[in-house]
Amino acid sequence: MLARFCAYGFLKNQRYFEPFFILFLMSKGLSFFEIGLLVAVREVSANALEVLSGALADVWGRRRAMVLSFGSYILSFILFYLATSPWLLALAMAVYGVGEAFRSGTHKTMILTWLRMQGREDERTEVYGTTRSWSKIGSALGVVLGSLWVIFTKDMSALFLWALIPYTLDLLNMATYPKELDGTSSEEASVKRAILHLKEAFTEALTHRPLRGLLVESGAFMGTFKVTSDYLQPILQAMALTGLLSTSLAFMPESEQQRIALHIGPVYVVLFLWSAYMSRRAKTLVKRLGEEERAARSLWVLFALAYGVMLVGAMISAQVVLVLAFLLLYALEAAWRPILLARFDMASEEKRGATLLSIESQVRSLVAMVLAPGLGWIVDMATGPKEVLASWPVAAWGLSIGVLAVIASQVRSRRAPRAPEQPS
């Protein structure tokens, strides 16, 4: 099963359009504020179904939920390819959000269920780090293939059609998972039962202090990363148009889209391969620091540092410094997810696993839903007519969140009860 879990992540991340997605939307004549609104549409759609989808997955069957998820993704890719107006783009975003809602948390819970069946609960961080590393390797290959397509055809829209192939294969992969991975629930599969299950999960999340803290941490870390990481694409576009990296390339085509692909491709390949390495090293980080909580506090410090470097780069207009800051952020996000998943699993009950992880995903989506249009509007206002992108608001927001999180984690660690001393 571990190989199939890795195949799931590898195929899922064959999103050939991903490194060009913001540029694809910009090519439709949209401002950063309008792009932010489209992101908000996606997040609203995901939020409308997010937690209920987790409850349905726990009660109705996790394999069915994953098949529905990938069916929605496939439909959204077709809509993106056909989109000629903002309204059709908004519809594609909404359908994509449905896919996100039924996927988030569900597959992770299936992995955790399999680990329990195998008696390998202590390998949570290591196993999820391995599967996530294959997701990042898949992303790296997707960047190479997507970049080559844009370089030779100059067509970004067709990348959505190419993504249909791996997503169809992944749908078949998950549809044939063992039935045991659907979970241990013996409850009657009904919407009424799912709503009751959802109520129980919300009660656990809100009344159990460790779970509350994890939800806040995830929203702050992943919600901020989810929105701000998109701004790497226009930064790389600016570098391509100004020819900042052209001296290192033996071939520099005249087409703007080809130049952008030549700059974006290598950077994203490095980002995703670096992220794959960091996902596998998450367990090593935990071992060195002794526990997941200490590892998470260290990552928060580095999170604040990365956005601090980004702010310096934005203030002195050093685009290479901005890219290096994003490189650090992608590495931190790769290490953060396996550690966060292990912390959630230790703090929750198995039968509500998918629901609680869906609540976690909803918190992240709520942050992104509010942040994306607001931050986009500020960037639009800060970007002058002769500038390509003013990235300092992005860096300032991330730095503020990082500093607050570091302070909060220090306060929480001081208040944490110490383990009683063993009698001699």
Do residues 16 and 162 lie in contact, with contact meaning Cβ atoms separated by under 8 Å?
yes
pTM score above 0.75 = no
pLDDT given for residue 419 in this prediction = 42
**What per-residue confidence (pLDDT) applies to 255?**
62
Q: Which domains does the chain have, with CATH numbers?
A: 2-415 (1.20.1250.20)
Q: Note the pLDDT of residue 118.
A: 80
C-alpha dist (Å) from residue 314 to 197, 245, 332, 396: 47, 18, 20, 10
User: Quick check: 238 and 314 in contact, CB under 8 A?
Assistant: no
Q: Which sign does the torsion angle of CA 136, 139, 145, 151 carry?
A: negative
Residues in the chain, pLDDT under 50: 186, 189, 246-250, 386, 418-424
* 115-155 residue pLDDT tens: 888 887 777 777 877 888 888 888 889 988 998 898 888 88
Tell me the pLDDT tens digit for each residue of 371-418: 888 888 888 887 755 455 678 888 899 999 999 988 887 776 666 554
